[in-house]
Each structure stands twice: as C-alpha cells, then as structure tokens.
Structure 1
Amino acid sequence: MLTTDPATLDFYRKPGVMTSPGRYQELFDGLPSDIGALAKVGHGLLVHEHIAPAYGITLTDEQRSPVHIRPVERLVERLLTDDDSLLTVPRPPEKRLAGNCRHFTVLMITMLRHQGVPARARCGFGGYFPTEAYEDHWVCEYWHVADERWVLIDAQIDELQRGVFSIDFDVTDVPRDRFLTAGDAWAKCRAGEADPGKFGLSGLSEFGSWWIAGNLVRDVAALNNLEMLPWDVWGAMPEPDEQIPSDWIALYDRLATLTGAPEAGFDDLRPLYRSDDRLRVPPTVHNAVLNRNETL
C-alpha cells in the first residue's frame, strides 16, 4: 500500500539524528534537485572503502577510519578538514571520504530531506553484484511525487561501478527484485522461495538467517529514522549461526510484514519499535568490526 498521507511523508521529510546537516546546513543549499545529479554530488565526496583500488587509490588505516562515523554532520566535518570546497565540487578520489553503501545512503537522505523530499534508508540485500549471492547492502528510498510511489536509488553506484558490476538497470530506480529489503528476504526464505544461505556478505563468507535477521532489525531502526552502521549490534540480533529462539522468529515474521509495506504498518511499526527493547536502539551499541561497545 502506498500513501501520500501528510503525517507519514512529513516524518520522512524531517532530518533525524544521523541525517541532520547540523551546523553545515548552509552547505546543503543550492544542490541540484535532479536525483541523478544529486547522486553525483555524493560520488564526488565519498569513496567506498572496498572499491577504492578501482579508483587507483590504496587507503591507509587512518583513511579508512571514517567508515565508523555515524552522523552526516560529522562526516561533513571530517570531509572539510581535507578539502573545504563546496559540496558541489568533486574531490579527486584520494581526497574523498572513505565510507560504504550506508554512508552514500545517509548522505543522499540528508540532501533530499534538506530539499523537502521524504526519504529513508533501507537495509537489505543487493542481487546485482558479481557473485551468486544477495549481498548485504543499503539503498535510499524516496517519495516520487509525480509517480506517487516510493523509488529505490542506489546512491553508491557511479559510472565506474556500473561497469565493474555490469549493472544493466537504472540505479536511480532500482527494480524491487534486484534489491530485497531485509523483511522481504526473510519472508521469501520463510516461504521456501529463497535460500537463506544466499544472503550475507561474500567478502566475509558469512551467510544465513542470522544475517537476514540482523539486517531486519537495522531496517526497522532506519524506518524509525535512526540509520546505524551495518555492523552495529544490539537487541534481537542473533550471533553468527546461532539457533534463533522461537519468540524471535515470531518477532521477525511480524517485522517482515510491517516493513514489507511500511505505510500500511506505519502506525504499528513506530510504537512497536519504541516499546520493544529488542528493537529500540540503546544508548550503547556493539561495533562488531572494532569489537567494542560505543556510546551514541
């Protein structure tokens, strides 16, 4: 079910903790309104940490460190320490800030919301990378006024990556069967329509229902305007290959339904997130990559 309900759209029009430009708000004035041109702004500011060699650069550990930055305001702050040009000025690859799909997504959301466009992050799996798996991935979903529908845009993919990944569709309107939200992936696996062993991250050789479940909880947080790092862990996120408790499975089934049609379940999803401490992002989360607890 799609909606133009003003309250729902207004919720996704307002910046959140991670998507507020903060003291750099003026830098977001005057950006292009065309969705493709807006994505190119991000391409000139960020470089994916694992795709950097394709741009002719090798990142040091210090250059990789921004991947652990959550709020866009701090991303911009770090970016400007190396180059204080306007955001519309593309940086050379070696001057771009290291990030990943999540960082491209939250930057796009920040730019869209600054222009009054409802937008939100979706955590799930991309089926358009050169593997046989659905890879852990984030994209942006925004409200297209003229078409009256939510549209997926992969803000990470530029022309170079289109070639590297042999992408054959418009990344500013990603087909729904090429990117599956975590809830859709969970539902398909539960229905026997997909193999959970195909969902995860090839780079780590980790796949399974536990990975889908973790992304489902992250997607719920994102739909509540709190976009965490892809490796932030809290609440109802199983350990790798852990036997998932039956009550958690029932919870995931419900979340898959609610996130599969967020507008239809909007009035249920928000209070559920706020009231269930298995879902709600706590003041401290575990950064699984750095293997440490971090206070938000």
Structure 2
Amino acid sequence: MTAIDFTHWRRHSAMSDPGAHRSALKAACGDGAPSTLVRVAQGLLLHDWAGSRLYGPPPAHVLDADRTTLPTAQRLERILAADPRPLDQPRAPFDRSVGTCRDMALLVTALARSAGRAARVRCGFAAYLAPGFWEDHWICEIEDQGAWRRLDAQLDAAHRAALATSFDPSELPPETFLDGPEAWRRIRCGAAKPALFRHGEEAVGAWFVRVNLARDQLARTDRLVSEWDRWRCAAWLRRLDARAEAEADRWAAETEGRG
C-alpha cells in the first residue's frame, strides 16, 4: 500500500479552524497524545441525546439545544463565553456545550491539528451503540505511526458504562466502526445485511448506507454537511436504481486502498 501523505490533514479547514481561540486550543492539547485530545473534548461537549440521559435530569437548555454542526471557532466562542477557564479544564456535564457525535469528532480533529497532527472526520456506522446493529455515527481519525488511528470522543466513562464497552475510546478496535465506503462495499458483496445499518428506526437499509457514503465523501474533503441536512427525508434517495448503485460503487472504489 502506498504511504499516506498526511500533509493536507495537518492544516485547518474552515470547520476546524479555531480562529481567535487558536492559542487557547493549542494550549489545551498538552502532549498531543490521542488520549489527551479525547479527554479534553469530553470535558467540553455533551452529546445531545445520550448525554442528556446519563447524568440525571437535564435542564431545559440541554433539551432545547440547537443541534446544528458549528465551525470550531463558533463552538469555542460559546464554550469560553459560558466558562472562561482554560479549555483543558473539564466542565460539569450540563455546563458543557451540547452537540452531536459529529461535533465531538470535529472538536477532536481541531485539537489534533492544533497539536500538529493530521486528523479528519469520518462518517459511517458503529457496532457498539445498538447491540446487533450498525448505527449511524461520526468519529475522528488521527495520524499515528504512519497510519490512521480511530477515536471516539463521545465514549466518556458514562457512555462506556451504559454501553458496556471495555475498549479505549482513543483507539477503536477493528470491526467496531465502518466508514461509509467500507459499509457500502460490505453490503454490495453480501458480507453484511443492509437492514443492519440504520439511524434508529427512521432510516434503515442500503439507501441510508449510500447517504453516509456520500457524507463521508464530503467529510474527506473537509466539507461537513449538517447532521440535520434532511437527506434521510428525501424520497429520491430511498429509491436505489442501477444507476444510483453504480455511482455509489464508484465512490466506494475510489477510496479503497487509499489513505
């Protein structure tokens, strides 16, 4: 396999750039170790759905929080306006900024790039969020000894206890997360059943795997669409004809064997 060129992924994008808070974010990176970056992100963000159920009755502002994916500069502006302490000091759960798994992945990506490490957001499916299913999810990949290492900052201690996971969230084991291309190739060759890939019960099957394949293609170019882009509600996306399948096959093939 060709060596990965990480150069592009060490540079901030419009979404990961901390803007006026560049020095504050860099200071929070500490030694830049994946475990440090995950810990910092966990102390700043609260997952909008799971997080609101793991720490006791949530206040109204948590339940009513806007779920739009924010650029890192805007996210940090909100965090520091609410609590001006250094970013490596964890906030109490309900004092954290509320976001989705995509926000978690984006913040870890921003931290890693601020520490001089290559990192990127990936969209796909996790095996550990709903037993027996591959659940819609977003994570971060970080440069580690010439390869990509997968991290999931959402998995703090409360999440790990609730989900009964024992692995280190700063290094996801193989077969715990499939990115969009990996998931699409598996269902196309018959190695996995399309019905096992889903977002709850509202979006299930091959058409939704195609949605996350497209989202991952955009993420790999640092263009993060919003979690609430409503793609899953578009009727035309739910109809997979031969032309749509061939197009998705081409997208997935373009990423195979590449960094």
Q: What TM-score does the superposition give when structure 2 sets the normalisation length?
A: 0.91
Deviations 1:11-61 (A, max 9, x none): 111111111101111111222212112111111111111122211242536
Q: Percent identity?
A: 30
Q: Any residues of structure 2 matched to 1:91-102 within 5 Å, and which? A: 91-102=91-102
Higher mean alpha-carbon deviation, 246-255 vs 38-47, is at 246-255
CA contact (8 A) 2:109 2:119 kept: yes
CA contact (8 A) 1:63 1:98 kept: no
* Counterpart residue type for residue 98 of structure 2: A
**Runs of 4+ deviating beyond 6 Å:** none
Query: 1:158 offset after TM fit, Å?
Result: 1.0
Deviations 1:62-121 (A, max 9, x none): 764342142111111122222121111111112101111111100000010111111111
Partner of 2:170: 172
Change (3 A) 1:254 1:135: same
Change (3 A) 1:259 1:92: same
Partner of 1:162: 160
Change (3 A) 1:62 1:4: closer
CA contact (8 A) 1:213 1:237 kept: no
Count of residues paired in the alignment: 256
Change (3 A) 1:86 1:2: farther
Partner of 1:224: 221
Partner of 1:251: 247
Query: 1:233 offset after TM fit, Å?
Result: 4.8
1:29 aligns with 2:14: no
Query: 1:178 offset after TM fit, Å?
Result: 1.1
The one of 208, 211, 222 equivalent to 1:211 is 208
CA contact (8 A) 1:70 1:228 kept: no
Stretches of structure 2 lacking an aligned partner (at least 5 in a row): none
State the structure with bigger RCO (CA 8 A, min sep 6), 1 or 2: 2
SS at match of 1:103: helix
Stretches of structure 1 lacking an aligned partner (at least 5 in a row): 264-296
* Counterpart residue type for residue 26 of structure 1: S
SS at match of 2:238: coil
Q: State the superposition RMSD in angstroms.
A: 2.1
Q: Any residues of structure 2 matched to 1:88-127 within 5 Å, and which? A: 88-127=88-127
Return the alpha-carbon distance in structure 1 between the equivalents of residues 57 and 258 of structure 2: 40
CA contact (8 A) 1:208 1:241 kept: no
